[in-house]
Amino acid sequence: MSDWIVSRRKFLKSAATTASALSLTGPALGTLGANDRIRVGLIGAGNRGLHHIHHCKNNKDVEILAICDVDQRHREKGAKRAGNNPKKFSDFRQVLDMKEIDAVFIAPPCHWHAIPAIMALQAGKDVYLEKPICHTIHEGQAIIQAAQKHKQVVQTGQQQRSHQHWTNAVKRIHAGELGTITTVSVWNAWNPKEMRRNIDRRRPDQDPPKGVDYDMWLGPAPKRPFNYNRFHFSFYFWWDYSGGMVSAWGPHLFDIVLWAMGKGPKSVCAASKLMVMNDGRDTPDTMEVAYDCDDYVMSYSMRHSNGFRRFGKMGHGIEFVGTEAVLQINRLGFQMYHDKDRDTGKPFYSEESVEEGFDYATALHHQNFFECMRTRQTPNAPLEVGHAAAVVPHLTNISSRVGRQIRWDPKKEIIIDDPEASRLLTKEYREPWHLP
């Protein structure tokens, strides 16, 4: 199993680590009275939504009041996982109408992130918003404006910001231990099996499954016939709902680069193709990208043809190359090498992640969010962080779709002198949906 998919054993075992996670981030919420419990609603009870239910359920100071999903099977599974008989809805607006709810977790497909997030902020709810926070760069800008206006706490799903080994690595970079960093390489490499895909599994259009409100699932996306290859996990591979793995997974990796380096790209040039997957998708399965980041050069590589691991077990990761040392990092930990270490292959410093790193980071990230709800402080991954982490993959996909280099003004957040590319900063919304 790929290192990015959490096994059921580790998922269940992580419940035992949650208590430890809570003790690491500040005063326990359990010292507060019963009337101070945080009451939450979940929008989107698929794979990621179930992780949120798992952690909320295991926090005795949090109560899940509502589960929303357009698929009845997801609603029932989510409610069963919550275990406290929450209300069940297929329309997220019913969750937002519950005045007793303090915060909402938003974890549906990417095309359904911005509208519920803005409406939740307007309803006075704090928000935990999964990554990428937006389907377009314009949506990210709109969510930030709404948060600034309504002054709610927003945590974005960049949970690596709450995990120690990522924090330690960034501290070492900021301390100058790598010297002057000249290049940064970012990559995802998984074979079709690890991507849960059959290369040639095309399916015919058909009626939606019983219990699925398919029109609501489409929401602002174009009207299309139902097809299983576009539904649930597969939504990642269609422009209507997401942007392929570069926008699904890229934000986790690009966020660390932006955190460490302080600035992102001023130009992007993507070469991409659909070469292996014949399942009907319209996003590429192979991509090589070059970024001019002013003070350094960054590259991104994505492939689904072969899962051969870069640097041993690193099917995803980042490599920072400096004049004094090299740092390689992913969710398994990080290593640092001097130039002389290339002969031995042994790092001069190595730090492993805890075994339950993926879910452990989520537990810490939840707790940081809940504490910031109490204190009204800025969380570890506020909207500006989530937006910046989404901008890079969105620009990558825009360059990919127009087939040329694009130039980006990071202060004005506009594409320079390219009207065709600039049109992809936003999208058309199917009536009656629009950005609030």
- The SS3 call for residue 257 is helix
- Report the 10 Å Cβ neighbour count for 336: 23
Helix and strand counts by DSSP (H, E) for the chain: 13, 16
Query: In the block, which residue shows the tokens 């805890």?
Result: 354
Q: Which fold has domain 164-354+388-425?
A: Dihydrodipicolinate Reductase; domain 2 (3.30.360)
Query: Is the full-model pTM beyond 0.75?
Result: yes
Question: DSSP assignment of 196-211, as one string?
Answer: T--TT------PPPTT
Q: What stretch(es) of the chain map to CATH 3.40.50.720?
A: 8-161+359-381
Sign of CA dihedral 227, 231, 237, 241: positive
- The SS3 call for residue 14 is helix
Q: Specify whether the CB–CB gap between 188 and 245 falls below 8 A.
A: yes
CATH classification code of 8-161+359-381: 3.40.50.720
Q: Specify whether the CB–CB gap between 235 and 109 falls below 8 A.
A: yes
* pLDDT for 306: 85
Question: DSSP assignment of 318-386, as one string?
Answer: EEEEESS-EEEEETTEEEEE-GGGGTT---SEEEEPPTTHHHHHHHHHHHHHHHHHHH----SS-HHHH
- Average pLDDT per run of 10 along the chain, which is 436 residues long? 34 40 39 67 95 93 97 97 95 98 98 98 98 98 97 97 95 98 94 75 94 98 96 94 95 98 97 93 96 97 84 84 96 93 91 72 95 96 98 98 98 98 98 96
Region label for 216, one of left (φ > 0), alpha (ψ between -120 and 50) or beta (otherwise): alpha
Q: What stretch(es) of the chain map to CATH 3.30.360.10?
A: 164-354+388-425
- Kindly report the length of the chain: 436
